[in-house]
Homo-oligomer: A and B are copies of this chain.
Amino acid sequence: MATGRTHRPASRSRGIPEATVARLPLYLRALTALSERSVPTVSSEELAAAAGVNSAKLRKDFSYLGSYGTRGVGYDVEYLVYQISRELGLTQDWPVVIVGIGNLGHALANYGGFASRGFRVAALIDADPSATGKITAGLPVRHTDELETIIRENQVSIGVIATPAGAAQEVCERLVAAGVTSILNFAPTVLSVPDGVDVRKVDLSIELQILAFHEQRKSGEEALAAAAEAADADGPGTRGKPEKSQKATPLAAPAKAAKAAVKAAVARKTGRSGPDGEVPAVMPA
């Protein structure tokens, strides 16, 4: 799962919890696989295993959709595929545009999973004039100038942003102004949008950082803690949360000094981390 989410204010639409909606595609994929193997029915236990979730959770999720399923037997695969598809809105065709045909945009344009789920790439759009006209994934790359026209003519309501971060907000605004109300953002920026517009964000860099966090935990923190100890005056074990007991003791001054010391040390080796804020996750710098 791509990660961070910047979607709607956590309100549930028509009784279906957001968390459940996020899992429906998972179930749908597992069911599709079963369908291809011509499996007629499946129990909550089996399907849950295939989708990688708890069976109780799965049953509760389905209960929000209605009472599909037969006690003592399980769920009819084809029937469930249809119901979930309908609930997700995949029974209709969704034209989408991809803006920013760099390395990632190129990969997205070639992604085969679109069509099979009711998504259709209406157009590829890029700001670079030299890229315009190039056939990519069977479609000519159009110039940004045509953005509004393309959106309106194709009734596009879903846009994918794969531009550098610097261009993302502007592209976003133009998309919204032209009528797009759902945006999938690959640029490493926080997009601000008016109410009524959904934004979901995918950021590889964030996923990797979360993995690194857990990895650090697993590989024993000792070595690193020891190394950091020299610079960090807080001491290694105390860091969890400042002791409640350090009331108003004259600890303020030393703590301040420690911060300053670390700051200085940090300043010395700053310059390593280049600006990565300008390229979307999964694009060459």
Binding site for B on A (CB under 8 A): 1-8, 13-15, 21-26, 28-30, 32-33, 35-36, 50-52, 63-68, 76, 78-79, 81-82, 86-92, 94, 96, 103-104, 106-108, 110-119, 137, 157-158, 181-184, 188, 190, 192, 196, 198, 200-219, 224, 228, 234, 239-242, 259, 262-263, 266-267, 270, 273-277, 279, 281-285
Contacts and interface: CB of A to CB of B under 8 A. Distances in A.
A92 to B, nearest CB: 7
A53 B197 CA distance: 17
A13 B283 contact: no
Nearest to A189: B29
Nearest to A102: B107
B50 A188 contact: no
Contacts of A5: 1-3
B209 A28 contact: yes
Given A82-B266, A116-B275, A51 B211 contact: no
Contacts of A190: 26, 30, 50-52
B217 A259 contact: no
Closest 9 CB pairs of A and B: A2-B2, A112-B285, A1-B4, A89-B216, A1-B5, A1-B3, A2-B202, A52-B190, A110-B284
Contact of A218 (B3, B96, B196, B266): B196
Nearest to A217: B13
Contact of A52 (B6, B28, B35): B6
B262 A82 contact: yes
Count copies of this chain in the complex. Answer: 2
Contacts of A90: 209, 212
20 contacts: A1-B6, A3-B200, A4-B22, A22-B206, A36-B277, A52-B190, A67-B241, A79-B266, A86-B224, A89-B213, A91-B224, A103-B107, A107-B283, A111-B279, A116-B273, A116-B274, A116-B275, A137-B284, A182-B212, A184-B208
A76 B39 CA distance: 59
Contacts of A51: 190
A266 to B, nearest CB: 4
A66 B241 contact: yes
Contacts of A86: 224, 228
Given A89-B215, A112-B279, A274-B115, A26 B158 contact: no
A192 to B, nearest CB: 8
Contacts of A63: 241
Contact of A213 (B24, B277, B279): B24
